């Protein structure tokens, strides 16, 4: 295997072990090289120092935990292998220009300090589109569930299918456009969990007469960045993680308070026995535009 292939495999392994001990000796043992040779090879292939990269990725994971859970800062610091809250705070402030406590309390979420994972080989970022949405009334159902950060991807895939099945039970046809409104906040009961609100909804004029259990819901107006996904239903959540973990920080965007909007385009006909395996979805994230 060439050097790029070795480092590509190592990057995948590192990403799933950021909360484990990752001394240079441990990482070198995993890769099967001396730590000196591994450091040189990593720098040659990625143009980054391996130790600095691991720390930046750990701090990025910690930043997500600060925003999406109410876990004590010390617990998050220890999870990502910082030996004290003071050490964590110094490193965090250097990368994000604010303390962990301030980062958690801020109403907006500035993605600039997040360090995206390195991706080797051909990789094309999803193309952003800037849109301004008017406040719109939809007809839908809002349901909630809780999960840990580690469970988010699996739960969101499962919940989408479950909630859409429930929502469309009463109709024989599928409207041509479906909206999924997603919002989350730290759980009030468990400090390591999120409460996630997911609304399944349609426009009132899209053949909704059979959806008797639907209630008016508000699609919030404002500025959004929009990305388009076309592919398997199982790949949508990975796409969302790519948007938040890579696109938002590379574009230096600030997420404001509000709902993520999933806008699905369907076959618009008679309901099928099984959900589709391929989908087209526009994913919109609420942002705060900065003056030119």
CATH number at residue 64: 1.10.10.60
Domain count, the chain: 2
pLDDT at residue number 19 = 92
Per the CB < 8 A criterion, the answer to whether 202 and 224 are in contact is: no
User: 212 or 59, which is more confident?
Assistant: 59
Q: Are 135 and 223 in contact (CB under 8 A)?
A: no
- Mark whether 168 and 269 lie in a shared domain: yes
User: Residue 138: pLDDT above 90?
Assistant: yes
113 against 269, higher pLDDT: 113
pLDDT above 70: residue 209: no
- Kindly state whether residues 100 and 136 are assigned to the same domain: no
Whether 117 is covered by a domain: the verdict is: no
| 39 and 102 inside one domain | yes
**What is the C-alpha to C-alpha distance for residues 82 and 253, in angstroms, rounded to an integer?**
28
Please determine, for residue 94, whether its predicted confidence score (pLDDT) is greater than 90.
yes
The token pair that represents 244 in the structure block: 């938040």
Tell whether 92 is covered by a domain.
yes
Whether residues 98 and 227 share a domain: the answer is no
Q: What is the pLDDT of residue 113?
A: 94
Residues 100 and 235 in one domain: no
| pLDDT confidence of residue 168 | 83
Is the whole model's pTM more than 0.75, yes or no?
Answer: yes
Per the structure block, which two tokens stand in for 48? 């980054």
207 falls in which pLDDT band (50, 70, 90)? low
Residue 292 is predicted with a pLDDT of 47
Distance separating alpha carbons of residues 143 and 129, to the nearest angstrom: 29
Residue 1 has pLDDT above 80, yes or no: no
Residue 52 lies in a domain: yes
Q: Domain range for residue 162?
A: 129-286
∠ at Cα 190 (94, 254), nearest 5°? 40
SS3 (DSSP) at 205: coil
- Confidence class for position 60, pLDDT limits 50, 70, 90: very high
Residues 150 and 257 in one domain: yes
Least confident of 68-72, 84-88, 106-110, 152-156: 152-156
Q: Can you tell me the mean pLDDT for 108-115?
A: 94
Across 174-198, average pLDDT: 90
What confidence tens digit (pLDDT) does each residue in 211-267 have? Answer: 767 889 999 999 999 999 999 988 998 999 999 999 999 999 999 999 999 999 998
Q: Which of 91, 106, 121 is the last residue before a domain boundary?
A: 106
- Let me know whether 102 and 191 are in one domain: no
Contact 58, 83 (CB under 8 A): no
Residues 38 and 176 in one domain: no
- Convert the pLDDT of each residue in 22-46 to its tens digit: 888 889 888 888 989 999 999 999 9
Mean pLDDT within 67-79: 94
The average pLDDT across 127-142 equals: 94
| pLDDT of res. 131 | 96
Higher pLDDT pick, 122 / 238 = 238
d(CA 104, CA 98) in angstroms, rounded, equals: 10
What is the overall mean pLDDT for the chain?
90
In a domain, 292, yes or no: no
CATH number, domain containing residue 251 = 3.20.80.10
User: Do 205 and 266 lie in a common domain?
Assistant: yes
| Residue 96 and residue 139 in one domain | no
């Amino acid at each position: 295997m060439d050097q790029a292939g070795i480092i590509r495999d190592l990057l995948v392994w590192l990403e799933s072990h950021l909360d484990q001990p990752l001394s240079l000796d441990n990482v070198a043992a995993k890769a099967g090289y001396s730590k000196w040779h591994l450091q040189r090879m990593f720098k040659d292939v990625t143009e980054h120092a391996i130790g600095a990269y691991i720390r930046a990725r750990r701090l990025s994971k910690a930043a997500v935990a600060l925003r999406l859970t109410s876990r004590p800062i010390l617990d998050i610091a220890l999870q990502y292998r910082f030996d004290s809250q003071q050490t964590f705070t110094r490193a965090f402030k250097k990368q994000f220009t604010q303390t962990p406590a301030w980062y958690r309390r801020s109403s907006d979420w500035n993605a600039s300090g997040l360090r995206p994972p390195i991706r080797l080989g051909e990789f094309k970022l999803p193309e952003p589109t800037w849109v301004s949405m008017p406040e719109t009334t939809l007809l839908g159902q809002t349901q909630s569930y809780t999960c840990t950060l580690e469970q988010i991807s699996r739960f969101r895939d499962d919940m989408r299918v479950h909630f859409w099945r429930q929502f469309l039970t009463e109709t024989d046809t599928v409207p041509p456009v479906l909206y999924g409104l997603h919002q989350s906040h730290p759980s009030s009961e468990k400090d390591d969990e999120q409460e996630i609100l997911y609304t399944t909804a349609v426009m009132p004029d899209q053949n909704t007469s059979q959806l008797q259990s639907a209630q008016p819901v508000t699609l919030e107006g404002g500025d959004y960045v929009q990305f388009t996904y076309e592919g398997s239903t199982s790949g949508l959540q990975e796409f969302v993680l790519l948007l938040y973990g890579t696109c938002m920080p590379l574009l230096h965007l600030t997420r404001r308070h509000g709902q993520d909007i999933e806008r699905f385009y369907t076959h618009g006909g008679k309901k099928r026995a099984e959900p589709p395996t391929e989908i087209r979805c526009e994913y919109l994230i609420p942002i705060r535009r900065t003056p030119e």
